[in-house]
Amino acid sequence: MLSSATLSADAPAVVSRAAPSATRQAWSVLVVSTLSFTVCFMVWMMFGVIGIPIKKALNLSATEFGLLTATPVLTGSLIRVPLGIWTDRFGGRIVLAALMALTVPAIWLMAYATQFWHFLAIGLFVGLAGGSFSVGTPYVARWFPKSRQGFAMGVYGAGNSGAAVNKFVAPALLVAFGWQAVPQVYAAVMLGMVVLFCMFSFSNPQHLVPSTVTFRDQLRALKDPKVLRYCQYYSIVFGGYVALSLWMVQYYVGEFGLDIRVAALLAACFSLPGGVLRAIGGWLSDKYGAHQMTWWVMWVSWICLFLLSYPQTDLTIFTVEGAKSFHIGLNVYGFTALMFVLGIAWAFGKASVFKYISDDYPHNIGAISGIVGLAGGLGGFLLPIMFGALMDLTGVRSSAFMLMYGVVWVSLIWMYFTEVRKTEVLGEHAPASPSFHH
């Protein structure tokens, strides 16, 4: 029989052997989950490219095109709340694997759609892939200590770069084989990703939350002003990112007269940093705090959107020497540079919003991230439709950026009065020196 002394002497060795194993599992989970999310996001953004030939074939208006591209975003958003709850209760491994497997038949069937309503109906099922975000976020976060959760969630969130991958892959398939090849290839890729995820992901029963959270509890969370504020922020940095990722290829084609492959490549200058750099945003949020990062993200967004909002303008001035005309507007290079900066800002913002959540709701990350993710996804659903409606109404393509500029204004004002001014007031009333505390 082993003595207590022997057990205590062996315990450190057991812990030391277990710790590297847990670390390897954590990194394996993070890598394979990020790859899975990248594939899911690639599928979710599919209409941003194949929607252009579909629009031409079906003779769709700008509003109908917005609805076509946004339909998958709707189900991917609405499913986020229950998926967050199920992840807390059953674990991210089984939920994410089942979710990806369910989307494969719908992706494949997309190649056989011929009517507008066919695309909308099948798009609702394809959109389930977008719900993967609220599964993977709490799943990977719980594998890491609190001090590194912002970084872990940022790395996972870098799967948003699937929007850029879509812009590289889909145009090449479209030109070579027709748009129908895109969903067929994506279905095969998704099926392969399910197998890979099951092979290299792990479960930890200690990460399960004995949650009794219901949809009513989720609605009750909306009474928390902080949750509402985070929903507003995320509707910009994620909802705006999704909306513009779907909108930009056809914007480049229409505004600058580019070929679809060149348009997709330039649109990726926004989508790629908007996804990949999210990991750096998570690291910066861990270091400087969620509030500091989000505040600067909103100001950079405000400046970029102000410049992007200005429509192409020909100005004529009558002088003593006669009429002189000037052209004011962004060329394709200036436009792309501003979109690149905006993509970086929103990558950091997506990470900082979820740093807020992990700081304020450490025991309920899945549920709260589900509802904030829902708000962001609904932004991604509504904004393309609104972009199309504004374009049909005004005939001005940059009206999409005018709308986003107004939304950012709301967030800046809200943030100032609820966070910045509150901090300033507390600073004014803070003790002048420690000598007042005796």
Q: Which domains does the chain have, with CATH numbers?
A: 23-201+212-428 (1.20.1250.20)
Give strand pairing partners of 317. 324
Question: What are the pLDDT digits (tens) for 16-61?
Answer: 444 566 688 889 999 999 999 999 999 999 998 999 999 999 999 9
Q: Do residues 309 and 405 make contact, with C-beta atoms less than 8 angstroms apart?
A: yes
One-letter amino acid of 231: C
Q: Choose among 385, 255, 272: nearest CA to 308.
A: 255
Regarding predicted confidence, which is higher, 131 or 19? Answer: 131
Q: What CA–CA distances, in Å, run from 92 to 5, 134, 366?
A: 39, 9, 10
Question: What are the pLDDT digits (tens) for 382-429?
Answer: 999 999 999 999 999 999 999 999 999 998 998 888 877 666 555 544
Q: What's the CA gap between 366 and 385, in Å, rounded?
A: 29
Q: Do residues 96 and 129 make contact, with C-beta atoms less than 8 angstroms apart?
A: no
Q: Choose among 30, 180, 20, 37: nearest CA to 110.
A: 180
Q: Is the dihedral of CA 52, 56, 60, 62 positive or negative?
A: positive
pLDDT at residue 83 in the model: 86
322: left (phi over 0), alpha (psi -120 to 50) or beta: left
CA gyration radius, the chain = 24
pLDDT at residue 288 in the model: 87
Full DSSP string of 21-36: HHHHHHHHHHHHHHHH
